[in-house]
Chains A and B, each alone.
Chain A
Amino acid sequence: MTHIILGTMSETPQTNVHSISVAGRHVERNPGLEFEPGLFAGIRVNRSAVERRAATIGTRRTVKKEYQAAWLLRALSCIDLTTLAGDDTPGRVRRLCQKAIRPVRRDILDALGVADLNLSTAAVCVYHNLIETAVGELKGSGIPVAAVSTGFPAGQIPVSLKLAQIAASVAAGATEIDIVISRSKVLTADWKGLYEEVKSFRKACGEAHLKTILATGELATLSNVARASWVCMMAGADFIKTSTGKESVNATLPYSMVMVRAIRDYHDLTGYRIGYKPAGGISTAKDALNYLILMKEELGNRWISPNLFRFGASSLLGDIERQLEHHVTGSYSAQYRHPNG
C-alpha cells in the first residue's frame, strides 16, 4: 500500500487525566481524513500468516494468579454489557443495568482489595427502543448507553432511515452509536460510497461516539476487513467493531489482528487513536485474556481501557465472575453463586 505522511498531525495531547486510569486518558476524537483510496487499496493481508500469529497469542503469553485477577477486572471494565434480543423488555434491561453497575459480588471485590475502584462495565448496549429505560436506570452511575443502529444487524434499510434512527437514538440519550456498515458496498468495492455513508453517520452522531460494525464474517476476505477498517477510520469512526453477534462467524483473533493493525497504522499516519471492539462469541475469561494480550502486544497498554477498547458481550461477565471467585477462594465456582444480569 502507498503511504501518505501527513505533516500536520502530532501526538495527541494528554489532557483530562482521570484519577483512576481505568477511565483512561482523554482520547482526542478522530476527525477523519479526506477519502484517499491510495491509503488502503493496496492492502493485502495474508490469511495463513495472520492465523499462525493469532494461534500463538494465547501460547506466547499467559497471565497467572493475581495478575490474572487484575487482568480480568480490566476486561470486565471494558465490557459493553449487551442485550440485543427480540424479547428484550424494560424489566430485562433494568436488570442488566443493575448488573452493569455492580458487576461483581462485593465480597469478592473486597477480597481482591479493589472495592474502592467502583468498577462497572464500560457501557450497556441495547436496541433503540430500550435506550430510555437504560438511561433512566443508569442515571448517576456514569455508565453510558450504547445503541445499535442503522438497521442493525443487516443494515438493509434506506440511508434516510438510518440517519433518522441515529438522530432518534441520540435524542433518546444514547451517547454511543453502534452502526452497521453496508456490506454490499465492501463486496462491490464501492469504497467511496462506504466512506460517504459512514461520514454521514458520524455527522448524525454529533457528540455521540460512533462505533462502526464491519460484520467481518460477511466481508469474505481479511484484506476486505483491513480496507473496510481504513475506510471507516477515514470517515471518522471512533471505534471499529467486528460483528453484530448475529453473523455466523463473529469476533475472532485473526479478524482482530487485522483490525488492530489497521488501527496502529492509522495512528502512525495521523496520530489519532481509534478504539477497537470485538463482539460476538467472546464468552470465556480465557478468550477475554487472549484479546487483552493481543491488544497489549499489537497496540500497547494505552489501548486497554474503556475509551479505546470494548468487548461486545453478554455472557462473558458470568465467566469472569466465576474465575475471580476461584482466585479468591481457590475453589472452582458455580454460575448460580453470582447474581444474574
Chain B
Amino acid sequence: MEVRDLFETLEYGPAPESPDEANRWLQERDNTLNHFIGGDWVVPGSGEYFASHNPANGDLLAMVADGDGSDVNRAVAAAADALEGWVAIGGHGRARFLYAMARHIQKNSRLFTVLESLDNGKPVRESRDIDIPLVARHFYHHAGWAQVMQQELPGYRPIGVVGQIIPWNFPLLMLAWKVAPALAMGNTVVLKPAEYTSATAALFAQMCHDIGLPRGVFNLVLGDQKAGEALTQHQEVGKLAFTGSTEVGRILRRATAGTGKKLTLELGGKSAFIVFEDSDLDSVVEGLVDAIWFNQGQVCCAGSRLLVQESIAERLYKKIRRRMSLLVVGDPLDKSIDIGALVDPVQLENIKKLVNQGVEEGGKLWQPAGELPARGCYYPPTLITDVQPSATLAQEEIFGPVLVSMTFRTPAEAVELANNSRYGLAASVWTENVNLALDVAPKIKAGTVWVNCSNVFDAASGFGGYRESGFGREGGKEGLLEYVKPFWESRLSKEPVHRLPRFTPAEVMPGHEAPEIDRTAKLYIGGRQVRPDGGYSNAAFDSTGKVIAEIPAGNRKDIRNAVESARAASGWSSTTAHNRAQVLYYIAENLSARATEFQHRISLLSGKEEALARSELDLCIRRIYHYAAMSDKYDGQVHATPLRNVTLAMKEPVGVIGIVAPEEAGLLGFVSTVMPAICMGNRVVVVPSQHYALLATDFYQVLDTSDLPGGVVNIVTGDQDVLAEVLAKHYDIEGLWYWGSRNGSRMVEMEAAATMKRTWVNYGLFHDWEDDEQGQSASFLRHATEIKNIWIPYGE
C-alpha cells in the first residue's frame, strides 16, 4: 500500500509478531515434545505420539508424547525420589529456585509469549501483556512464600507428590498457578497439561533443566485422558489439583473418593456481570471486553451473563454493539487484533451449536459485520439479548466469545438472578455507589467479585469457586493451605481414642416401683422439638446396657425438614460476629448452670467416673468459649495486590453444613464439631453420636434457653451412616463434615460430587478430642468458611 492512500484511509495494517524464534525452538526438538521425567526428556512408553496443531491455521505444530500409565508411574516415582531432598533444602533453598524461575521467564518472555499464542491461538497481546507477566509474578510471589513458610505456616508440612492437571485456555498461567505454590511448600510435582496445549509446559520443563532444578522436583507427562486418569488413580499421589470442566471435576471427585487424596477443583462458571443504572457505561463496555472478549471467551470466570438494570438496558446495548463492531478478529500473532483463534474445531462446533440453541429458545442474536479469516478456528464476538433465566444459554457455559444478557429491576433481583446458577466462580458488579457495591458483593455466591472491573488476577489473591465451580483456592495464603497439611493430621489414630462402653443390652426387669416420669427425647428442627416423621424410636442405653430412654429414629424426611429450617435461618449468617459470640457465651453459661445434670448424664452414658465426666463437661464449656472468642477474630484480610485497589479476602460462612458427629466422643464430639461451624455463621444439621444421642437431645434445651435462633442448629438423631447418605445427596447443603467409618467417608465424598459440596471426612481415623490441636485447631474454622476475594479499585 502507498503511504498516500493510507494517509486517506488510516487503516491499522498488519503488525505481525514473528513466529521464527518459537518455530526454531520447536524445530530444534524435531517438532516433537516428550515427557520430562526425573530431569530427562523421556519418550513415551507406548512409543505413540499425537499431533498438535496451530488453531489459527491448522498447521502441524508438534507431535506430542501420548502418555499413559507407565509414563505416569515413572514420573510419580521420580517425584517421590526427589521429595526428601526438596524438603531438605528448606524454604530459602526453594525460594532461590522459584526466584530463578521467575527471572528466567522474564528473560525469555517473548519466546514463552509467541509459543503460547502459536499453540493456543490467543492474541499475542494477551500472552505478552497478561499471561506471561502473571506467570512471572506468580513465581516471584511464591518464591517469597517458600522463603517464609516456616514462620508463616507453623504446624504445616508438605503433602508429598502432587498431581496436577491443567486446561488449555491459559496453558502456562495455569501451570504457574499450580506449580508455584506446590513447589514453594516443599511438594514435588507431576503435571499433565491439556492435550491441545503442551508447548509452553515443555518450554517450562526446559527452563527447569536450565536453572538446575533438582531432578524429579518437576515432572511433565504429556498426553490425553489416559495419562490424566493414571495420575488421578496413582496411590502415591497425595494431592490432586485440577482446573477444567465441572464434568471432569466430578469424575475426579468420585475417582479419589475415600482415598484421602487432597483435592482442589477449579471448574466451570457462568459468571454474572451486573450493571446498575448509575454505572459509568462506557467503562462498563470496556469491562465487558475484558470479561467476555478476552481469550476468545475461553475463560472459566468469563463474565458471560450480563445482568443489566432495565432502565439503562437499551442504552448499554447500543454502546456494546458499537464497541463490538470495533473488535478485530484475526491472526493471533498480529499485535493489533482483539480476538484470536479458538483452541480447536471441536470448541468451535460446540459454540455454534449452543448459539443456535439460544436463538431457537428466543434469544436475539447480534454479531458485527465483518469477515472472519478464511482458515482456522474463528468465531465472531456475539451478543444475545432477551435471554431468560430459563434458557439454556443462561445456565450453560458456552466457553466462547458469546455474551448473553437479561435485565433486572432492583438490586435484590440482580442478586437473585446472579445466584440463580449452579456455578459460583466469579462476578462483576458495576456501580458508582459504594454502598450498593459493598452490599451486593457479599451476597453473591462466587469466589471472586470484581467491583467495576473484570478478569483481574494476582498471585496474592485467592481464586476459586463456590458451588459447582469447585473448591479450594489458588493464590494468596488461602491457596498455600491447599498444598500443605497440618502435622496433627498425621497423628490421628487408627483406633478410637475415646472408648465407647461395651455392653450387652440388659433385659428390662418388671418391678413394683412407679416409673420415672417418661421424658421424651425428640428431634430438634427449626428451634422446635419435633417427633420423627417415621414414628420410630431406638433404645438408648446407659454404659451398662440398661435401656434408659428412647431416641427418635430420624429418617430422610426429617433431614429434609432440618435442611429447610437451616436454609431459612439465613439471618444467622448475616448477623454480626459479635452477636454470634454473645449467643455462644450464653450457651456456655447455660450449660454451666446445668453442669451437674450433664455431668451425671455423661457419667451414666459413658461409665466415666463423675470427676472425669465433670472434666469432659468443663472442656466442652471451654471449647464453646473458644469458638465464641474466635467468632469475631477469625476474620479476613486485605491482600497486597499490585493494583490501586483494595482486595478484600472475606471469610464467609459456607452456608448449611451437615455434621455427622464422632460416635465415640459424646458431648465433647458434638460441641467440638458444631460450635466452630455456627460461630462462623453456618447453620447446621447435626446427626449426633447414636450412643450419646441423649446428650444431644439434652443439649437442645440449653440451646433453647440461649437465644440461638431456631434453625441454626438442627439435631436429627438416628442411624448415622443412613442419614449421612441423605445429607451427602442433598442438593441444598453446601458442606458436609463426617466423622465415621472409612467406607462412610468414601460414600460422602462420592455422593458429594453431584453438587460439589465441600466435604471434610476422617477416612475412618480418630481424633483425640481432648487434644486442642485435634479438637479445636484452625482447620475447623477453615472448613467452616469460604474465602471470597472482592476487588475494589478506587480513585476519583
> Which of A47, A114, A301 has a CB less than 8 Å from the CB of B10?
A301
Total A-B Cβ pairs within 8 A: 104
A297→B3 contact, CB < 8 A: no
Nearest-CB distance from B289 to chain A (Å)? 8
> Which of B12, B14, B286 has a CB less than 8 Å from the CB of A52?
B286
Q: Is A4 an interface residue (CB 8 A)?
A: no
> Which of B5, B452, B796 has a CB less than 8 Å from the CB of A49?
B452
Please report the C-alpha to C-alpha distance between residue A67 and residue B10 in the assembled complex, in whole angstroms. Answer: 7
B326→A53 contact, CB < 8 A: no
Q: Is A310 an interface residue (CB 8 A)?
A: no
Q: Is A160 an interface residue (CB 8 A)?
A: no
Q: Is A159 an interface residue (CB 8 A)?
A: no
Q: Is A221 an interface residue (CB 8 A)?
A: yes
A73→B432 contact, CB < 8 A: no
Contact residues of A between 31 and 87, Cβ < 8 Å to B = 42, 44-53, 56, 59-67, 69-71, 73-74
> Which of B3, B7, B11, B452 has a CB less than 8 Å from the CB of A48?
B452
A3→B794 contact, CB < 8 A: no
**A51 closest partner in B (C-beta):** B795
**B282 closest partner in A (C-beta):** A261
Q: Is B45 an interface residue (CB 8 A)?
A: no
A interface, how many residues as a size bin? 35 or more
**B128 closest partner in A (C-beta):** A59
Q: Is B793 an interface residue (CB 8 A)?
A: yes
**B2 closest partner in A (C-beta):** A113
In the bound complex, residues from chain B placing their C-beta under 8 Å from that of A165 are none
> Which of A67, A74, A261, A296 has a CB less than 8 Å from the CB of B13?
A67
In the bound complex, residues from chain B placing their C-beta under 8 Å from that of A46 are 279-280, 283, 432, 452
A66→B452 contact, CB < 8 A: no
> Which of B13, B125, B282 has a CB less than 8 Å from the CB of A63?
B13
A64→B15 contact, CB < 8 A: yes
B336→A61 contact, CB < 8 A: yes
- Interface size of B by CB at 8 A reads 39
Nearest-CB distance from B240 to chain A (Å)? 36
Q: Is A143 an interface residue (CB 8 A)?
A: no
A62 in contact with B15 given A49-B287, A71-B10 (CB within 8 Å): yes
In the bound complex, residues from chain A placing their C-beta under 8 Å from that of B286 are 49, 52-53
Please report the C-alpha to C-alpha distance between residue A47 and residue B280 in the assembled complex, in whole angstroms. Answer: 10
Q: Is A188 an interface residue (CB 8 A)?
A: no
A49→B793 contact, CB < 8 A: yes
In the bound complex, residues from chain B placing their C-beta under 8 Å from that of A53 are 283, 286
Q: Is A292 an interface residue (CB 8 A)?
A: yes
Q: Digit string of B273-313 for contact with A (CB within 8 Å is 1, else 0)?
A: 00000111011001100100000000000000000000000
Q: Is A17 an interface residue (CB 8 A)?
A: no
Please report the C-alpha to C-alpha distance between residue A159 and residue B458 in the assembled complex, in whole angstroms. Answer: 53
Q: Digit string of B315-328 for contact with A (CB within 8 Å is 1, else 0)?
A: 10000000000100
B432→A74 contact, CB < 8 A: no
Q: Is B6 an interface residue (CB 8 A)?
A: yes
> Which of A67, A73, A113, A304 has a CB less than 8 Å from the CB of B12?
A67
In the bound complex, residues from chain A placing their C-beta under 8 Å from that of B338 are 60
A113→B795 contact, CB < 8 A: no
Q: Is A21 an interface residue (CB 8 A)?
A: yes
A70→B10 contact, CB < 8 A: yes
In the bound complex, residues from chain A placing their C-beta under 8 Å from that of B278 are 42, 44
A74→B794 contact, CB < 8 A: no
Nearest-CB distance from A262 to chain B (Å)? 10
Q: Is B519 an interface residue (CB 8 A)?
A: no
B interface residues with partner A (beta carbon < 8 Å) = 1-15, 125, 129, 278-280, 282-283, 286-287, 290, 315, 326, 335-336, 338, 432, 452-453, 644-645, 793-796
